[in-house]
Each structure stands twice: as structure tokens, then as C-alpha cells.
Amino acid sequence: MSPNQEPVFSEYETDSSQTSKLLRKFKETPFVPIGMAGFAMVVGYGLYRLKHRGDMKMSLHLIHMRVAAQGFVVGAITCGVLYSMFREYVVKPKE
């Protein structure tokens, strides 16, 4: 790249630390970390309930936990898509 050309991704090159990149991504897409946190909570709850499942079969318990975790993540992704569509088409000022 020649010295008088400005970089194409100048805003991405200024943030060099991983933490600042992660925080910027969380601000751009807020529902991704919510989905990840919900998934972790469902898995944690499932592991806790694994001890007290009673006479329920292990495979049935695992299927229920998988469906709950996937449902939370798909719900968070759907909310994120709706939120971005709302920002893009409703809140965005007309040019």
C-alpha cells in the first residue's frame, strides 16, 4: 500500500486489542451474546437437574435440554434479526 492511500478498513485497524474488538461486536449485534449466555444457562440448569431427574431416562433428559438450548439460541437470533430490520427500515432516517 502506498503511503498516501488511506487503509480500507481503518476503523478495524485502530482497535488492536481483542477486548475492544469483542466489545465492538457486542454493540453491533447485541443478541448474539444474549443467545450465548442463554445457551450457557440452559446447559448449566440441565447439568444441575441431571442429578435430580428421578426415573427419567438419560437420553430423554438430554433431548429436552438440547431442545431448550436450541430454542433459546434460535429465539435470540430471531430477535436480533427483527431488531436489525427495525433499525434499518423504521428508525433509519430517509435520505
Residue 30 has pLDDT above 70, yes or no: yes
C-alpha cell belonging to residue 78: 430471531
Answer yes or no: is pLDDT of 29 > 80: no
In a domain, 80, yes or no: yes
pLDDT of residue 15: 47
Is a pLDDT exceeding 80 seen at residue 11? no
Domain hosting 86: range is 59-94
Number of domains in the chain: 1
The yes-or-no verdict on residue 22 having pLDDT over 60 is: yes
Within-domain flag for 72: yes
Q: CA 61, CA 36: separation in Å to the nearest integer?
A: 21
**Beta carbons of 42 and 65 less than 8 angstroms apart:** yes
76 in any annotated domain: yes
* Cell numbers placing 58: 438419560
* 36 in any annotated domain: no
Q: What are the two backbone dihedrals, phi and then psi, of residue 17, each rounded to the nearest 5 degrees?
A: -85, 150
Cα–Cα distance, 58 to 44 (Å, whole number): 16
- Mean pLDDT, the chain, whole residue set: 79
**66 within some domain:** yes
Residue 6 lies in a domain: no
How far is residue 54's CA from residue 52's CA, in Å, rounded to a whole number?
6
pTM, rounded to two decimals: 0.59
Domain assignment present for 42: no
Residue 68 lies in a domain: yes
